[in-house]
Amino acid sequence: MRSCLDSLMVVQKRYYSTLEKIVAQHNLTIAEWQLLLKVIDGNQTQEKLAKLTSLNVSTLSRQLARLVAKEFVSRFAGEENNRHGGRKKYNYVETNKGKTVVKQLQQDIKKFADNLFQHWSVDELSMLQILLNRLDRSMERL
């Protein structure tokens, strides 16, 4: 029999694999989807996005370029470019296509969760949430 932590790892791998398939249906990777969510939340500069994601600038630039190429975000020159010389700075904003794909993804993920837990009672779901929260707090303390 697996330990609790081993079981958590197996569940995490299955969930990640399922999530990869869901976002791939919308021409995204998980990383691109997470970045798109941050842009939609109003984080429009590379500087803000780099801090939020902890990605290095070149990785972040590649991911943003892919989102621009897929027309999920638009890129435009920041105001700083007019005032200062040096490297160009860009701002990013979601497109209607980007907003639409996020809404579709949210629906697909909700559908997945509904199917996953369709045979679980409210009490079972509540107990699972309590136990996961307790595990999270225990891990924070370590």
How many folded domains does the chain comprise?
Answer: 1
Q: What is the pLDDT of residue 73?
A: 97
pLDDT at position 77, please? 86
**Residue 37 to residues 33, 121, 140: CA-CA distances in angstroms?**
6, 31, 26
3-state secondary structure at position 76 = strand
Confidence at residue 86, expressed as pLDDT on a 0 to 100 scale: 61
Q: Report pLDDT for 84.
A: 57
* Residue 12 CA neighbour count, 13 Å, CB half: 7
Q: Which residues contact 128 (CB under 8 A, 6 or more apart)?
A: 120
Predicted local distance difference test score (pLDDT) of residue 78: 77
Q: Output the domain CATH number for residue 10.
A: 1.10.10.10
* Domain span including residue 59: 4-141
* Surface-to-core class of residue 74, CB atoms within 10 Å of its CB (0-12 exposed, 13-18 middle, 19+ buried): middle
Cβ atoms of 40 and 52 within 8 Å: the answer is: no
CA 58/CA 38 separation, integer angstroms = 18
DSSP, res 79 = T
- Residue-level pLDDT, tens digit, the chain, 142 residues: 889 999 999 999 999 999 999 999 999 999 999 999 999 999 999 989 999 999 998 999 999 999 999 999 999 987 665 555 566 788 999 999 999 999 999 999 999 999 999 999 999 999 999 999 999 999 999 9
